[in-house]
Structures are given as structure tokens and as C-alpha cells.
Amino acid sequence: MNTKLYVGNLSYQTTENDLEDLFSPFGPVTEVNLMVDKMNGRSRGFAFVTMATKEGMDAAIQGLNGKEYSGRNLTVNEARPREERAGGGGGSHGPRREYSKRY
């Protein structure tokens, strides 16, 4: 049973405590993960909130999706599993060319 929510379009000033306070009227909150930029430590504008029950999750979606919070309209829906990405990263973008040395 999935009770994890995706919460998007958050203000960059939003904290994990703010989210727990926002979601707790809909049911017990078991976990809040605010996504933070590794380089500057600032919020990336989205988070994942896990509710204790399916009923709490459904109530939070119903009560908060599209609602204004800190000057922004929230996106709140059931979190989907992370999609697998193609491996690699960095590296070459084609065959390596060999250049002759000039003397």
C-alpha cells in the first residue's frame, strides 16, 4: 500500500517542518523528504510526504492539490516509482578521433 505523496510547486523557503504542519490535519505524517540542491543547499521546489494511512493520503490530495500555499498553487498527487534512467553519464559522444602529431 503506497501512501507516499509528491508535492510540487513549493516555495524555495518551505521547510520540512512547514510541510509536516501543512499535511498533519489530514492524518499522521510518517516522513517528509524535501528535495535540496546539493550545490547550494536550497530547496528544489518539491518534496515527498508519506502519510500513515491511505485515507490520510486521499484526504491530503483532495484538500491540498491546487490550493495556494506561500503564494504558489501546490501540486499534490500520489508519488510514482522512480523511472530507471539510461546508465552512463559524462563520457564521449561518439567515436574517438585519432589526430596525427605535427612536428
* Residues ≥6 apart with Cβ < 8 Å to 89: none
C-alpha to C-alpha distances, 97 to 1, 94, 101, nearest whole angstrom:
53, 9, 13
Q: What are the pLDDT digits (tens) for 32-60?
A: 999 999 998 888 999 999 999 999 999 99
CA distances to 13, 66, 85 from 17, rounded to whole Å, are 11, 20, 31
What's the CATH class of domain 1-36+65-81? alpha beta
pTM for the model stands at 0.78
Q: How far is CA 79 from CA 33, 49, 90, in A?
A: 12, 9, 29
* pLDDT (tens place) for every residue of the chain, 103 residues total: 679 999 999 999 999 999 999 999 999 999 999 999 999 888 899 999 999 999 999 999 999 999 999 999 999 999 988 777 776 655 555 555 566 666 5
